[in-house]
Amino acid sequence: MNKKILKKKIKARFRKSKKDLKKNVKIFFTWVKGAELVELKECEISKDPVRPELDNIFRTSYGRKIFGVKYKDEIHAVMCFAFTNKIPKTVKELDLMSKDAFLQSATRDQKVGKIAIAYTVWSTKKGGGKLIVKQVFKMIKKSNHLNRLVTLSPLTEMARNFHINNGAEEIQVNEETQNFEYKIIK
């Protein structure tokens, strides 16, 4: 093949891939800017790769909440929380501590726990996991009773990398889990 034709083909491919990249970036930022954080009554637990054994009753009782990132009437990322006053090392401790914080709040000010424990997060769209972490972080900063955002994450390198890359600090490694904290500065 002649050099001039080869150069033209390479330039054409480069222009096309550059155009495709710009289009993909534009689509990505359009969905991210248009997405909103919403509280959910339930989630599709079968899509949860972290804790699919926990049903929607567990996820919504005793002050626990489910949040999702919604874009065009679809949920693209989910994060589930329990509100506690201490940092749990297991799901069983999470259950007991969130019940305790909930019962304490019933006799006080109705503000459940001082620590938001994110025990599962997943995304169905690129960038959704990072986006929900940022949105929840903003929500917690605005809260007048929450002062910490901590995770109860599985002992996987993927979970570790996700939280470290999103600005969390590893605070402890437990027998079955690991905890990361996103610093809340009010």
At residue 147, the pLDDT reads 84
Same domain, 47 and 116: yes
d(CA 45, CA 153): 17
**Token representation of residue 173:** 């490694």
Same domain, 146 and 70: yes
The answer to whether 88 touches 97, Cβ cutoff 8 Å, is yes
Angle at 156 between CA 138 and CA 83, to 5 degrees: 40
Collapsed DSSP state (helix, strand, coil) of residue 155 = coil
The tally of domains found in the chain comes to: 2
Same domain, 43 and 14: no
From first to last of its 186 residues, the chain has per-residue pLDDT tens of: 566 666 666 666 656 665 555 555 444 445 557 788 999 999 999 999 999 999 999 999 998 999 999 998 899 999 999 999 999 999 999 999 999 998 887 766 556 678 999 999 999 888 888 888 888 888 888 887 788 899 999 999 999 999 999 899 999 999 999 999 998 765
At residue 51, the pLDDT reads 95
Residues 6+ apart with CB under 8 A from 87: 115, 117, 150, 171, 172, 179
Residues 6+ apart with CB under 8 A from 132: 37, 67, 68, 69, 77, 78, 79, 121, 123
Same domain, 30 and 108: no
Same domain, 30 and 41: no
Task: For the full predicted model, state whether its pTM sits above 0.75.
Answer: yes
Same domain, 88 and 30: no
Same domain, 29 and 116: no
Collapsed DSSP state (helix, strand, coil) of residue 27 = helix
CA distance readout (Å), 121 to 10, 26, 50: 42, 25, 7
Closest alpha carbon to 59 in 100, 95, 104: 95
Same domain, 26 and 89: no
The answer to whether 87 touches 118, Cβ cutoff 8 Å, is no
Please name the helix (run of DSSP H) or strand (run of DSSP E) that holds residue 78, with its range, or none.
strand 74-84
At residue 25, the pLDDT reads 47
Same domain, 85 and 157: yes
Same domain, 83 and 24: no
List the domain range (segments joined by +) for residue 4. 1-34
Same domain, 103 and 131: yes
At residue 107, the pLDDT reads 67
Same domain, 170 and 107: yes
